[in-house]
Structure 1
């Protein structure tokens, strides 16, 4: 068990979404925080909210996780501010809309630098510190799209599958070495964050209506709140769960992939068409 009360955690992508919700919930449960994001104003807002509710020690760090040197500097500064730091949440991530042929190589590399290499560099930078603690925990955020892969998400799925593979292998290495460090990989389903609205679009995507439709579809499927996601992740940390699924949709898609590993998309497509039809019907009834 990794206790939250009395711990200190580093969280990337902490200015919004799941990262912000995690920061707030960890603080409520007695955890000091080193919060990282590119959005300095967002970090300040989170810190102000935490300080209203209690006296947790909070340090703020402007970090682009796509830059390894900035991650290394963040780890050094976070450990200096919190010498007993024992939890790391590699949460920061971005999205990229477009099929493989519509995405330039540079765009795919941009996404990988953040969604995959950001996790790897963050893990590497903090692991020496974590290994010195009596109990410690790494949380790497993958996605349900690290378990199954819909069309139009080739770059995102590739990175999130990579996070899953890296995390599972490292977890086994840590166990074999009898390390005090535990590792959970998280697979959220639809969570109501701004990641879709803030996504970049492949240079080959020229249909603006398609982007709007994609965002609308995501919003319709995003049933889990960031606060609920944060509570589920923290429960997983406390129980040392190796895999954390978030949302009923994630549980359904995980089971679907197990039973139909090569043909799950046909079922998913039918489900998405039903959701779209209900959305159209509701819109028509509202007119």
Structure 2
């Protein structure tokens, strides 16, 4: 029972982590795909305000562009401060950035938009974040694949544990099994007794492991709620969102616990039938 509880807990943690990574990755990709960035590189004697206005006019005149907002000096300082510290950037040739929000439902021609922006201001360049989206998708896919593989390994370890436990129980009760068979009990009947026993153990163990995992996810989600202030909470929210699995995620963990219990019972039954066939208990007893 303890082993099944531990395995269910680990499987639930893995499943919940996979769901969080997949959901967060999808959210990141939606956010990145909804935005473009135009960078205007400064040059000596260049009027940055006029260049910014010219690029902004081109962007807003393009179908599919919802907004084009230039980032002011304070926003630029906020973006650069993690790398450069609190410096006065007014004397530095810092590029001017324009955040562009696009309509995902529109068929925006990025190549034509980039050409129009560069034609208006040669020092401007457009970044559609495709490289970031591609890398993010690959990273998230690798993490999800690794999580599914770990989940499969945990379930395989659970099956092997039940197999060895069933064999041990049969060895310890061999004389009882022989008596049952002598009085006419079929292999299916004997396997059913083990199946019910291990189903009970599986239900209790899986319920304990799944409940602990659910409580853990709920506690972490509560500690990372949006009104919680702190550097660690902010970092976790950036990586995993609100750390909330939602009703569907919690339901999947419950279904996983039930699946572990059913898998435990079926594995026990199959093992008993194989062992009975191996020791030839299904043949009539002589004498």
Alignment TM class, shorter chain as reference: under 0.3
TM-score, with normalisation over the residues of structure 1?
A: 0.24
Query: Which is richer in strand?
Result: 1
TM-score norm. by structure 2 comes to: 0.24
Which structure has the bigger radius of gyration? 2
